[in-house]
Structure 1
Amino acid sequence: MQLLFKKRGAMLILMFNLLLIFIGIGLIIPIMPTFIEQLGISGGTVGLLVAVFSLTQFLFSPVAGRMADAVGRKKLIVSGMLLFAFSEWQFGYADHVFEMFFSRVIGGISAALTMPAVMAYAADITTNEERAAGIGYINAAITMGFMIGPGIGGYMAEWGIRVPFNCAAAVGVMAAVITALFLPESHSSASTGTVQKDHVPFFVQLAQVHRQPYFFSLLIIFALSFGLANFETIFSLFVDHRFGFSPKEIALIITIGSIGGPLVQLTTFGWLLGHFGEQRVVSACLLLSALFIVLTLLASTWTMLLVATVLVFLAIDILRPAVSTQMSKIDETQQGYIAGLNSAFTSLGNIIGPAVAGVLFDVDIRFPYILASVVLFLCFVLSLRQEKAVLHKASSDALRMTRK
C-alpha cells in the first residue's frame, strides 16, 4: 500500500483521474443506441465512428509516447484530459455526422496522449519489484470506471439524452484540474538522455519494430485486443441469437464478468508476477483465455455462460497488465515510446477485430469466437518458445556470473 502514497500520492491521483475518465467514457454506453437512432445514423456509420477513433489513437500513440519522453508526462496527461472533455461535449451537441467524426478524431488523439503518458508515469515511480503492482492499480482503475459508468449513464439519461455527454465533459475537466494542481512531474528528458530515434519517421519505426526486444510483447498486445474485440463486439448478438437474452440479462452478465479483474489487479496481481514471473503468467493467461472462449461456445445455460464470461474477462484482465509490466522493464530510457507502441498495437487490434468479427458473424455466429480462440492459442505456442529463450538467457547469465 505504500506505493499508493509514494511521490505525494501520485499513484492515487493517477488512479482517481483514470477512474473519472473511464466513468465518463462508460456514461455514454447505454444511451448510444437511442442517441444514434434519434440522429438517424446507420449501423455502418457507427462502425466507422469506432474505427476512426481507434485509427487516430493508433497513428498518434507512438508520437505521443515520444513526446512524453521529451517534454514529460504531466503535460500530456492534462492535455489529453482536456481534449477528452472537448470531444465528449462536441459529440453530445453534434447534429451532423461530420461533427461526430470530428469528435471521434479528437477523442482518439486524447486517448493517444493520455494512456502512454500514464503508463510511463507509473513505470517512472515504481521499481522493478513494484512495477507489477503499480500497473495493476492503473488497470484496476480503468476497469472499475468502465463498470460504474454505464449504470450512472443509464440513470442520467432520464434527465435528457445529451446529459451523460455533458457530465463526461465535466468529469474530464475536473480530472485535468486535479492533475494540473496535484500531480508532480515524474520525468525529465535530461535525466535519461536524448532519444536517438526521435528524427525517424513513425512508419519507418513501425516497419523496424520487429527488430526490437519488445516485438513479441507487441504481438501479444495485438492478439489480445483482436481477440477481446472479437469477443465483445458480437457478444450481445451472440447471446441474443443463441439464448434470446434480454438487454438486462446481457448487461448483468457483462457487469458480473467484469468484477473479478479489478479485484485481482488491486490485490494479488503483484504477487502473481513476483511468484511466477511475467512470462509464465502471460503464457498461462493466453492458454486460459483461448480455452474459456471455447467454453463460451459450449455454454448451454445462463449459469454456464456467466462462468465462461467471468473466466474470459479475468484471464484477459491479468494478461493485459502482465504484458505491460514485461514491456516496461525492457528499456528504462524510453518508457513513453514503449507505452505509445503498446497503445498503438492495442488500437490496431481494436480496428481489425470488430471488422473481422462482423464479417464472420454474418457467415456463422460461432466463427468470431473460434478465430479469437485460435489467435490466442497460437500466441500461447509462441510464448512457450519465448519462455524457453528467457529461461536459457537467465541460466546463461547465472553461469557467467558464477565463472567470474
Structure 2
Amino acid sequence: MAKNPKLSRAMSLTIVLFFFILLFSYADQNLLGPFLNPHLQTFFGSIEDALVPKMSIISSVFVFLSGVSMVACAILADKTSRKWICFGGTMIYALFSISTVLIPDGEVGYLLFFITRALNGIGIGAIVPTIFSMVGDTAQPEKRTAAFAYINVAMIMGQLVGMLLGGMMGDIWRIAYLITGTFSLLLAFGLLGIKEPKRGAAETELRGIEGAEYNFSLKKEDFKKIWSNKSNFWLITNFIDCIPSGIAFFLIFKYLEDTRNMDPEMITMVVLIAFIFGIGGALVFGFLGDRLFKKDRRAKVLIALICNAFPILFFIIFLLSDYNLPDGASMGEALSIPAFVLAVGSLILLMFVNQGVGPNWHSTLTDVNLPEHRATMISLASFMDLIGHTVGPLIAGFMTAQFGLQAAMWAAVFFWGLNVVLWLPIFFYIEKDLDNIHSVLEGRAKMMMEKKENE
C-alpha cells in the first residue's frame, strides 16, 4: 500500500507532541529527589536524615494516586477517546504544577505541597496509558520497539530535565515546578490540533482493509481472557524492577553530597552524562529489539532480561568505589581520583544498559495484547511499576533513618537481583501468547473484510 505523505507528516507531528508531553511530565515527577535537601530546609529548617521520611511520604502518595488515576483513565480510554482523556489529565497536572509557586515556607507549606503534589499525580496518571496506546496504533509491529524507544527517550530526557532543574535551581525550587507546568499547559492545547490514531490501524492483519472500521472495545468479560495470557501476568506484576531505581533516584543527590562530598553542580554534571548515555542505550537496544525480533520472537524479552541483569554489577562497583572529594573540588581534580572515575564510569554503563529495558518491555506488552486492551494493560503494568516507585522511596527513607545512606543504597542491589529472576518465565511463554493474538486478529480481519464486501 502506498504511503500518504500528509498522513506520515501528521503522525510524525503527533509523535513529537507525545514526546514533549511525556518529557515535561517526567521532569515534574523527578524534581523531588534533587530538591530533597532544599525542601527539608524550606519546610522544616533542617536537612537531618531523620526528616527524610516526611518527603518520601509525599513521593509515595504522589505515585500511588497517579497509579489509581492511570488505571481508571485507561479503562475508560479503551472504551472512548484517548486524546481527550490525555488532554484533561495534562491540563490538571499542569495547573497544579503552576500553583506550586504560591506555596509558603514552614509546615503549612509542607501540607499545601503535599496536597498539590497529590492532585498533580491524579492528572499525570491520565497521560501514560493514553499516549502509549496511541503510539501502539501509530507504529507498525515491525517498527514498534523503535517507536517506543523514542518515547522512552522522552521519559529519560524528562528525568534528566528534572535532575538538571533540581541541580541548578536549589533554593528557588518553586520556579522549576512553574516551568514544567507552563510548558505542559501549552502542550495540552497542542492536543486539540491532532487527530487521534485509529485503533488497530497499524496491525499487520488489518492494514490492508481500507474503509473498514475496527469497532472492538474493552468489555467486562475480556478481563478473563487477558489474564489467561501468561506473558501478561509476568509483564504486569513484576513491579520489583522499579524498587531499586526508586531507591537510587530518590537518594542519589543526598548520597553523593553527604558521603562523597560532591557538590550539587558536579552531581548534576555526572547525572547529565549518565542520562545522555541512557538515551543512547534506549535507542540502541530499541532498534536491536526490532532487528532481532524478525529472527527470534523471544528477542525483545531476552534483551530486556540482559538489560536488567548487567546493571547490578555496575551498581555494586559504583557503591564499592571509595573516595571523598576535597571541598570545592573541580571536575578536573575529581577525575584525577581513580575511584571517582570508576564510580562515574560504572554509573554511565548502568544507565546505558538499563535503559534498554523500557522500549522492549513496552513493545512486548503491546504485541501480546489486542488493540482494545492496550491502554488498560499498559496502565495496569504502569500501576504495578508505580507500586515499586512508591515502595522504593519508603524503603529509602526508612533505611536511611534507621541504618544510614549506605545501607539504603545497598538495599537496591537485593531488589535488582530479585527482579531478574521474575523476568525468566516471560521468555518461555511469549511465543505461544503472540500466536494467540495473531490468530484473533486474523479472524477479525476476515470478519471485517466480509462485512465490508456485503455493504
TM-score (norm 1): 0.84
Structure 1, residues 219-247: CA drift from partner, whole Å, max 9, x if none?
A: 33x12211111222232343345433222
> 105-114 or 267-276, which moves further after superposition?
267-276
SS of residue paired to 1:125: coil
- Conserved? CA contact 2:278–2:355, under 8 Å: yes
Distance 2:260 2:229 in 1: 47
Aligned equivalent of 2:65, options 53, 56, 60:
56
Give the CA deviation at 1:25.
5.2
Q: Answer with 301-310 or 166-175: which moved more.
A: 166-175
Matches within 5 A, 1:382-393: 382-390=422-430
Deviation digits for residues 269-312 of structure 1 (CA, Å, limit 9, x no counterpart) = 22334326211101111211222222222223111111111122
- Alpha-carbon contact 2:284-2:356 (below 8 Å) kept: no
For 1:173, the equivalent position in structure 2 comes to: 185
User: Paired residue for 1:246?
Assistant: 263
Q: How does 1:150-299 map to 2 (within 5 A)?
A: 150-152=163-165, 162-181=174-193, 183-187=194-198, 191-197=214-220, 213-220=231-238, 222-266=239-283, 269-275=286-292, 277-299=299-321
CA distance in 1, matches of 2:31, 2:381: 25
Partner SS state of residue 97, structure 2: helix
1:258 alignment partner, SS class: helix
- 5+ residue gaps in structure 2? 46-50, 201-212, 294-298, 323-338, 437-455
User: Following superposition of structure 1 onto structure 2, how do residues 94-173 of structure 1 map, counting pairs within 5 Å?
Assistant: 94-95=103-104, 96=108, 97-152=110-165, 162-173=174-185
Distance in 2 separating the partners of 1:75 and 1:393? 31
Structure 1 244/395 Cα, relative in aligned 2: closer, same or farther at 3 Å? same
Q: Which amino acid counterpart does residue 196 of structure 1 have in structure 2?
A: K
2:415 matches 1:375: yes
> Using a 3 Å threshold, how does the CA distance of structure 1 residues 294 and 30 change in structure 2: closer, same or farther?
closer
Provide Cα deviations, 1:15-66, integer angstroms capped at 9, x if missing partner.
1333344455567875564355334375443222111101101222211111
- Deviations for 1:353-394, whole angstroms, at most 9, x for unmatched residues? 111123334325444444332333233234334324446889
- Whether the 8 Å contact between 2:146 and 2:359 is mirrored in structure 1 is no
**CA 1:6–1:271: 2 relative to 1, 3 Å:** farther
CA contact (8 A) 1:128 1:329 kept: yes
| Higher radius of gyration, 1 or 2 | 2
Corresponding position of 2:388: 349
1:38 pairs with 2:46? no
> What is the distance in 2 between the residues matched to 1:18 and 1:249?
27
The percentage of counterpart residues that share the same residue type is: 17
Partner in structure 2 of residue 308 of structure 1: 346
Would you say the 8 A contact 1:23–1:149 is kept in 2? yes
CA RMSD in angstroms, aligned pairs only: 3.3
Partner of 1:400: none
Change (3 A) 1:395 1:337: closer
Q: Are the structure 2 counterparts of residues 252 and 172 from structure 1 closer, same or farther at C-alpha, using a change threshold of 3 Å?
A: same
Q: Which has the higher helix share?
A: 1
Q: What's the secondary structure of 2:103's corresponding residue?
A: coil
> For residues 8 and 54 of structure 1, do their structure 2 counterparts lie closer, same or farther at Cα, with a shift above 3 Å needed?
closer
- Aligned amino acid, residue 316 of structure 1: N
TM-score by length of 2: 0.75
Runs of 4 or more above 6 Å deviation: 391-396
In structure 2, C-alpha distance between the alignment counterparts of 1:358 and 1:43, rounded to whole Å: 6
Distance 1:20 1:382, change over 3 A: closer
Deviates more, 1:272-281 or 1:71-80: 272-281
Q: Compared with structure 1, are the counterparts of its residues 349 and 170 closer, same or farther at alpha carbon in structure 2 (3 Å cutoff)? A: same
Q: More displaced, 89-98 or 18-27?
A: 18-27
Distance in 2 between residues matched to 1:78 and 1:35, nearest whole Å: 30
Contact 1:285/1:318, CA 8 A, preserved across alignment: yes
CA 1:211 to 1:25, structure 2 compared with 1: closer, same or farther past 3 Å?
closer
Question: Does the aligned pair in 1 maintain the 2:318–2:343 contact within 8 Å?
Answer: yes
* Matched residue type, 1:309: L
Whole-angstrom distance in 2 between the partners of 1:161 and 1:363: 29
1:163-196 CA deviation, whole Å, 9 max, x = no partner? 3333322212111011212x21124698342322
Within the candidate set 62, 67, 79, 1:70 is matched to 79
CA 1:382–1:273: 2 relative to 1, 3 Å: farther
Distance in 2, matches of 1:256 and 1:217, equals 30
